[in-house]
């Protein structure tokens, strides 16, 4: 078990370095819930994530309309299952800039995780529209296909058009 814990800690720390905090949060919670609830390394890394949350909040005190900080904070909230707070952050960006591909993309992730696929698809379409040639647009188009397949798979054959 210690070897598995060590490998997962390494994975979580790589995610943190890559700024994939949501993935790191999942791995660290997996360690604490399934492997070792007293893992000091996992707890220390969770502290790093909480420091990030505080830094995002401080950045927003300086610049309340900072798209990246607000979306990163929203994503962090989403991974912590704080959906209402995540929604508030994403909508805050869109109140200031309705054409934010990043905010639409993150809203789509939130809807997809809640299995509200039609709304997810709509948000990814907007993200793709507002970032047609960029990474967000590319990922959005790929996710539209995936969510479309999911919606088709959940509809009984006799109701498909």
Round to whole Å and give the CA distance between 8 and 141.
Answer: 31
Q: What are the residue ranges spanned by the domains of the chain? A: 1-83, 93-161
The residue written with tokens 């997809």 in the block is 112
pTM exceeds 0.85, yes or no: no
Q: State pLDDT tens for residues 29-49.
A: 899 999 999 999 888 888 887
Q: State pLDDT tens for residues 80-100.
A: 788 999 999 999 999 999 999
Q: Give the CATH architecture of domain 1-83.
A: Alpha Horseshoe (1.25)
Give the helix ranges, DSSP H, for 18-134. 21-30, 40-62, 67-79, 83-96, 101-113, 117-130
Q: Which run of H or of E encompasses 70?
A: helix 67-79
Whether 93-161 and 1-83 are alike in CATH topology: the answer is: yes
Secondary-structure class of domain 93-161 per CATH: mainly alpha
8 A C-beta contact, residue 125 and residue 113: no
């Amino acid at each position: 078990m210690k070897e598995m814990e060590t490998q997962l800690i390494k994975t979580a720390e790589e995610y943190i370095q890559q700024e994939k905090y949501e993935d790191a949060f999942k791995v660290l919670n997996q360690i604490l819930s399934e492997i070792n609830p007293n893992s000091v390394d996992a707890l220390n890394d969770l502290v790093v994530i909480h420091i990030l949350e505080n830094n995002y909040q401080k950045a927003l005190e300086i610049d309340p309309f900072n798209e990246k900080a607000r979306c990163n904070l929203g994503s962090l909230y989403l991974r912590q299952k704080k959906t209402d707070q995540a929604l508030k952050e994403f909508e805050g960006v869109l109140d200031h800039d309705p054409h934010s591909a990043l905010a639409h993309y993150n809203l789509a992730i939130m809807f997809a995780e809640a299995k509200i696929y039609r709304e997810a698809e709509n948000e990814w379409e907007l993200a793709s529209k507002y970032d047609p040639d960029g990474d967000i647009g590319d990922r959005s188009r790929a996710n539209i296909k995936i969510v479309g397949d999911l919606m088709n798979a959940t509809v009984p054959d006799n109701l498909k058009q």
